[in-house]
Amino acid sequence: LVGDIHGQFFDVLEMLRISGAPPLVNYLFLGDYVDRGAHSVECICLLFLYKILYPHRVHLIRGNHEARTVTSAYGFRDEVGTKYGTEGGAVYRCISDAFDFLPLAATIDNAIFAVHGGLSPQAHVIDQIMAIPRFEEPPHDCTFGDLLWSDPSPTGARGFDLNGRGVGVTFGSAIVQKFMYMNNMRHMVRAHQMCVRGYQTQFNDLLSTVWSAPNYMGRFNNAACVLEVDDGLNRVYNIFRQGAKEYLTQPELESVMTRLPRAGEAPTLYGGMVSDYPLESQDTDPSLSLSSDGEEDALGIGAGVSILRNGKE
């Protein structure tokens, strides 16, 4: 599981170098792919490319920065305009439209709940999250916005409270315990907040926050983390630091490109299915389907990921 990357493209490459690249590893990215970093275009293009090549190995959910109101204010729209010139507006609209299709949450082997921000006082069970119409700009004052913006309580409060961000809520240990119990989950993983050591666990190990942008914005000297979950649901927090390079030489670029399948060539997948949920295309009601995009990888890294397919297609 990967937390915020915020346009830090060369750190993403470092992460893939250390942890392994798809299809050998099954990835779930928790949102906030763009803004603030200088290479948001490269980050989102790489992730979309991986999703196209290996749809059952790469899983993307939505963060609070996958929204037009936010990307207009924090750099992504300007970056697209600079890099694409007169075509920038069209490119930005296409990517923003793609963000509207990103799911809001995922589960891993029906035991780990994953979301970008946090929980909502208006959604106590996963079925309520699946009922949210997600194909729109994220509204703030509702469950949709809470999932993207909420944070664990900084005061130790056990319930819900106002969030200092001015959007979303804060949630305490009792809220997480109740949500885990009502949904038969064992753990919750989120992103959304920078952690100096790359991750933080809270609430008697019920909650993990994962951050994957090292030396965030070039100012914080923080570590980054990728959370590895094996098929026994054991967790390993893999820490990495900022990549040493901020460019690829031509031979290195060619080496990366030769490992990608050619257009029309079927990628080679490793391992068999971990979960046996029906594919969305086979469901009679896609608004309520749990689709298994997870496959066991060759290295034994990564449990089955089930994306919550909320909203009408």
Q: Where are the beta strands (DSSP E) in 26-183?
A: 27-29, 58-60, 105-108, 112-115, 151-152, 160-162, 169-171
Active-site option among 56, 65, 116, 192 = 65
56 is catalytic: no
Q: Using CA atoms in the order 205, 209, 213, 216, what is the torsion angle rounded to 10 degrees?
A: -110
CA 279 to CA 269: how far, in whole Å? 17
φ, ψ dihedrals at 274, nearest 5°? -90, -45
Token pair for 256: 């990366």
Token pair for 143: 């469950």
Q: Is 28 helix (H, G, I), strand (E, B) or coil?
A: strand
Can you tell me which residue has the tokens 């927090």? Answer: 237
Can you tell me which residue has the tokens 């082997």? Answer: 109
Residues carrying an active site annotation: 65
